[in-house]
Amino acid sequence: MRDHARTPRRSPVLLCALLAGPLLFPFLGSTPAFCQPPATAQEARTAPSPPGAPVRLDGEVLFYIRQGIGALSAAERAEVVEERLLRMAEDPFYSVGQITIQDRANTAEVYYRGTLVGLLTSEDAAQFGPGTSTEEATKLVRKITNAIDAYRARRQPAAVRRAVILAVVATLLLAG
């Protein structure tokens, strides 16, 4: 004969909650948000158009060029600027003091050691901010010099040595 005194009785409310809970909880998070409009299928399919031709240094997008100048398209112009920035970054005698900006009739010309790096027209400047082309070029040069400093820091012997050691340690951990 069983001893009913030792088995605890569960309340019927608790038993119903335990059985009905897993059935109801999946639906709690699936209600649509009332503040957000429903996403249409058309919105999901259309990718945003790129804001122009990207100018990159070491894989980092610094800015976009939206229009060409003369015979150069925006993409060709971006490619030329990228090559010149890379040459600046790899120059063993690189110095921020060698970068100059000259204002010429609504166009700011950026030079490095006397070589033209790029032009910033008033139309180009409008995409960066409300300032003149020279003011926006000054801001852009600051961003470029920060990127060049980071590029050079990643290639210093100590940084390269540290990266090699981390790669070896990671390889040993994964292999071992």
Q: What is the pLDDT along the chain (176 residues), one digit of tens a residue?
A: 555 555 555 555 444 444 444 444 444 444 444 444 555 555 445 656 668 999 999 999 999 999 999 999 999 999 999 999 999 999 999 999 999 999 998 899 999 999 999 999 998 898 888 999 999 999 999 999 999 999 999 988 877 788 889 999 999 999 87
Range of the domain at 71: 53-154
Q: What is the number of domains present in the chain?
A: 1
Q: Residue 77's pLDDT is what?
A: 95
Q: Which residues pair with 112 in a beta bridge?
A: 99, 115
Q: Residue 51's pLDDT is what?
A: 83
- Within-domain flag for 111: yes
- Within-domain flag for 44: no
Q: Residue 25's pLDDT is what?
A: 42
Q: Residue 40's pLDDT is what?
A: 55
Q: Residue 163's pLDDT is what?
A: 83
- Within-domain flag for 83: yes
- Within-domain flag for 103: yes
Q: Residue 105's pLDDT is what?
A: 87
Residue where the block lists tokens 């919105």: 43
Closest CA relative to residue 66, chosen from 13, 125, 19: 125
Q: Residue 157's pLDDT is what?
A: 84
| Token representation of residue 176 | 């071992």
DSSP string, 150-169: HHHHHTSHHHHHHHHHHHHH
Closest CA relative to residue 119, chosen from 144, 106, 128, 94: 106
- CA angle in degrees (0–180, nearest 5) for 122-125-131: 95
- Within-domain flag for 92: yes
pTM of the model: 0.63
